[in-house]
Chains A and B, each alone.
Chain A
Amino acid sequence: MNARIITRTVLAGPATLLFAIVALAAMPVWAPAGAAGVNHIVFSLISFPAWWALAFFYSVLEENLVRGSIVMAIAIGLNAYIAYLSGGW
C-alpha cells in the first residue's frame, strides 16, 4: 500500500471517529441551551452521525491529503480544546 492510501485510510477511519467524538464533546459549549436548558444536549447527541459523515466524506473526497490532514488535525484539536475549556474534563 502506498502512503496516499494509508494516509486516507487513517483520515477516514480513526481520525474521523476521533473528530466525531470530540465534536460531540465540544458542542454543548457553543450550542444554544434554549429556555428549557436541554437543546445543547439534544443537538449534540443527534448531530454525532452527521459529524462522522461530514468528516468521512471530506477525508474520502479531499484531493490534497496534506491539506486534508491539516484540516482534520485543526478540527480535532480545536474541538478537544473547547471541550477541555468546559471544565468537565
Chain B
Amino acid sequence: MINVSREKINRLLSIHGWSGITLGLFLYVVIVTGAVAVLASEIGEWSAGGKNSEAPLTSGINKHVLAFAETVNSEYTEDVSIFGNSASNAVVFFHTHATNSSGLPDDLGTMIEFKPDNGEVILRRDGYGSELFGTDPGSALDHFIAELHINLHLPNPYGLYATGILGLVMFVAAGSGLVIHRSLLKDVFSPARYKNAVLHRRDRHVLAGSWALPFAFALAFTGSFYSFAISIGLPMVAKTAFGGDQMAMFSTLVGAPAASDETPAKTVNLDTLINDVISREGVNPTNLSISHFGRADAVVTIGLPAPEGQFIGKTIQYNGATGEYTRDKPFIGTQDSAGNTLIMLMGALHFGTFAGLLSKIVWVCMGFAMAFVTYTGMQFWVERRKDQPLWQKFNKALQVFAFGLPIALACSGIGFMLSAQATTTQFWTPVGFILGTIAMFVTPLIWRDVTLLKKRLMFLMGISLVILPPLRWLFVGNVADSFLTIDTNVLMLDCILLILGAYCLVKPRLKDINVVNTDKAKIKEAMS
C-alpha cells in the first residue's frame, strides 16, 4: 500500500480520469494496433500465403546476386543489401547514395525480389529506398498495421509526436493508477463483483489494470522512447555532445569509414560467409549488406536474430575482399558497451521478441489486456454519469471505437485479400480500412440503443474476422496451406481468426439465452 494524503489521491484520481477520458480513445487505437503489430511479421507471412522457403538468406544465393548485379545500372552496384520479406523470399537492393525529390539523403537503385532456391524473379523495381521499402504488394497489410501503430499514418514527425504523447499519457495512467488503487496485491486476486453495473465495471478495470501494470510501464516507457528519440532526442543530443557536428556523431555511433581503396576486387562468395555465420552462431542470418561491392575495401555485414536462450541478436562483419572475419559489430558504437545493450533491450522489451513466438503471444495478450483496461476505464466513467445525455453520446462513440477498430483492421485485411491477385494491395488495404471506419461511424444512426449497438457491432466483428481465412484461401493460398503443409504461423492466425470470430458471433446470443433463463427462473420463483 502506498500512503498518500486524501487530497493527493483525489488530485491523482482526477488526472487519471480526465487524461483517460480525453485521450483514451486515441490511446486505445495505439494499444490495439500495437498488440496486433507484435505479430506483424507473422501477419505478413499469413497474408503472403505462407513461406516460399525455409530461410531466405541461405547458402546458394551468391550466384543469383552475381547474376542480378550484371543486369542493373553499374552506378547502383556501389552497395548491396539483401534481406528476407514476409513470404520468405529474398530481396536484393543494389544502390548508390543520392538526394531524393524532397532534398533528403536517400538510397537510389534497383530492388529485386526473388525465390532463393531457384532465383526466379518475382518483382523488380527501380527508385529511391524511401519509395521501395514496404511498398511491394506482399507487404501491404503488415506494413499498414505497423505504420498505424507507429505514427497513426500522420506525416512525420507529427505522427511520432502524437504516439509519443500517448505513450506519456499511458505512463501517467499507470503511475496514477498504481498510487490510487492503494491495495494492489489484494486487487490482483479480487474477482469482479456483480452487485451493480458501476461496481462491476470498476472491478473489471482494476483487476485487468493490476495484472497489466508492469507491462503498461514497460510499454509506455519504451514506446515514448522510440517516438521521441529520433524526432527530438537525437538532434538535441548531437548538438550538446558533438557541437552539432553530424559527421562526428555518425563516426562515433557507427564507426569512421575505413580508408577508401577503389581497386577492383572480386567480392567474396556470400555462401561461404553465410555458412560460416551459421556454424558460429547456429542461426540463419536475417540480413546481409555489402558496402563497396566489387572493390578491395568491400565490407560485408551480417545481421543475426537472437539465438536459442539469448535475449538479443548480433551483427558480424567480414572483409568483403578476403572473407576474413573482422569483428562482432555492436548496434551502436565501435565496441561493446552498456549503451548498446540498453538499446537492444529496449527493442526486445517493446517488440516482445526475446523468446520467439511465445514471448510475442504473451505480449499480444498483455496488449489486449491494456486495451481492455482502457475500454473498461472509460466505460466506468460513463456508467457513473449515465443520467447525463452528453456522456451517453460518448458511450456510443466508445462502443464504435472499441468494436469498430478491430472491424476496420479486418476490413483492411479484406481489402488486401480481394486485391491480392491484381497486385493492387497497396491501394486497397488502406481503402478497406477507411471504408470499414466510415461504415462504423454510420452504425449509431442505425442502432440508436447503445446495448443493441454493442451487440450488432460484436456480430459485425465476428463476421469480419471469420471471413478472413476463407478469403485468404480463395485469393492468396488455399486450405491446404493451413492444414496440410502445416505452416505454423499461417495455421495459428487462421485458427485465431476463426475462433475469435465464432466467439463474437455466439457471445451476444448466449447472453440473450442467459437473460431469458434468468427471467424464467424469476417468474417461476414469484409464482411459487
Contact = CB atoms under 8 A, between A and B. Distances in A.
Given A42-B339, A45-B229, A25 B237 contact: yes
Interface SS of B by simple majority = helix
Contacts of B243: 86-88
A39 B332 CA distance: 9
Given A36-B337, A48-B229, A28 B240 contact: yes
B168 A49 contact: yes
Interface in B188-241: 220-221, 224-225, 228-229, 232-234, 236-241
Given A45-B225, A52-B168, A88 B240 contact: yes
A38 interface: yes
B338 interface: yes
A34 B341 CA distance: 13
A83 B239 CA distance: 9
Nearest to B164: A49
Contacts of B225: 45-46, 48-49
A37 B252 contact: yes
A61 B3 CA distance: 13
B233 A24 contact: yes
Contact of B252 (A35, A38, A48, A86): A38
B333 A21 contact: no
Given A37-B333, A42-B340, A25 B240 contact: yes
B339 A21 contact: no
A28 B337 contact: no
Contacts of A75: none
B175 A83 contact: no
Given A25-B240, A35-B335, A38-B253, A48 B228 contact: yes
B60 interface: no
Interface in A33-61: 34-46, 48-50, 52-53, 56-57, 60-61
Contacts of B8: 61
B264 interface: no
A21 B342 contact: no
A44 B239 CA distance: 13
Interface in B317-363: 330, 332-340, 342-343, 346
A53 B78 CA distance: 46
Contacts of A25: 236-237, 239-240
A4 to B, nearest CB: 11
Interface of A: 21, 24-29, 34-46, 48-50, 52-53, 56-57, 60-61, 83, 86-89
The 7 closest A-B pairs by CB, nearest first: A42-B339, A36-B333, A36-B337, A28-B241, A38-B333, A88-B239, A39-B339
Interface of B: 4, 8, 11-12, 15, 167-168, 171-172, 175, 220-221, 224-225, 228-229, 232-234, 236-244, 249, 252-253, 330, 332-340, 342-343, 346
14 contacts: A24-B232, A27-B237, A34-B338, A37-B333, A38-B252, A46-B342, A49-B228, A52-B224, A53-B168, A57-B175, A61-B8, A86-B239, A86-B243, A88-B241
